[in-house]
Structure 1
Amino acid sequence: MTERDSPADPAGSEPTTAETACFEAGIKFGSLYHQFAGTPLSLESAGSLERAMEEAIENQPHCREVTVEVRRDELEAALDGSTADYTEVTGRFLEVEIVVEYDGCEVVTRMAMEDGYPLMRLESVRGR
């Protein structure tokens, strides 16, 4: 009998622990991306914004660790031809790792640029 086939749920509609952990990770990414998209970003503010993003998302349930890195080379390139000394946060400036731990299951997720798009992906699922 699998976790899905429990007597309380013969139709198999209850999510597994791993599925719930993956869902939690998705919620964290949605929150991070949509909460901070459009935030003013400069080379001087990059470090403090990285920490603010990490700390804000780490407040959420089941979130064990968040690492945000502003891609400073990409930011410098964007600012190079600009009259302003800042731009706004978009996915092209961020690399993110989020680790969720839910009921003994660890999920590692990442966001990085792939083919010009900030792709969020599931890296690993360990445990139940």
Structure 2
Amino acid sequence: MTDAPTDAQQACFEAGIKFGSLYHQFAGTPVSPDSTRSLETAIAESIENQPYCESVTVDVLDDRVADAIDHENGYTELTGALMEVEMRIEYEGVVARTRMEMEDGYPLMKLQSVEQ
């Protein structure tokens, strides 16, 4: 007999689902220094539509976007290196707080805390 997942495990699972959809849905989106704020809002509002997602904060880093533009068309493609993300997931009274940030040149999605 297998045990059902705990509420804390389910909250962490939900956080992983949200990060997977956020990253893989928006990676490759054209972004320029003029469009970072609207893209942040679009990403956050899109992910917040999902069940158990209480808040999403997306910071597309203007200086990194500007540095990544390598042609005269004025934009680059969104990657994890160009943004920082925090999410708060709530499932049955359990709050999972997560963060995506660069570590050793790779965008890592981390579980910051689980609160009951």
**Percent identical:** 58
**In the alignment, which of 91, 94, 108 is matched to residue 119 of structure 1?**
108
Superposed counterparts of 1:22-61, under 5 Å: 22-61=12-51
Q: How many residues align?
A: 116
1:26 to partner: Cα distance: 0.4
Calculate the TM-score normalised by the size of structure 1.
0.87
Aligned position for 2:58: 68
| Unaligned runs of at least 5 residues, structure 2 | none
**In the alignment, which of 1, 5, 9 is matched to residue 19 of structure 1?**
9
Tell me the SS of whatever aligns to 1:53.
Answer: helix
Aligned position for 2:95: 106
Give the counterpart letter for 1:47 in structure 2. Answer: R
Give the counterpart letter for 2:81 in structure 1. Answer: R
CA distance in 2, matches of 1:108, 1:53: 17
Tell me the SS of whatever aligns to 1:32.
Answer: helix
Calculate the TM-score normalised by the size of structure 2.
0.96
| Unaligned runs of at least 5 residues, structure 1 | 1-10
**Cα RMSD (Å):** 1.0
Give the counterpart letter for 1:104 in structure 2. Answer: G
Deviations 1:4-31 (A, max 9, x none): xxxxxxx442100000000000000001
Tell me the SS of whatever aligns to 1:113.
Answer: strand
Extract structure 1 runs of 4+ deviating beyond 4 A. Answer: none
**In the alignment, which of 79, 84, 88 is matched to residue 77 of structure 2?**
88
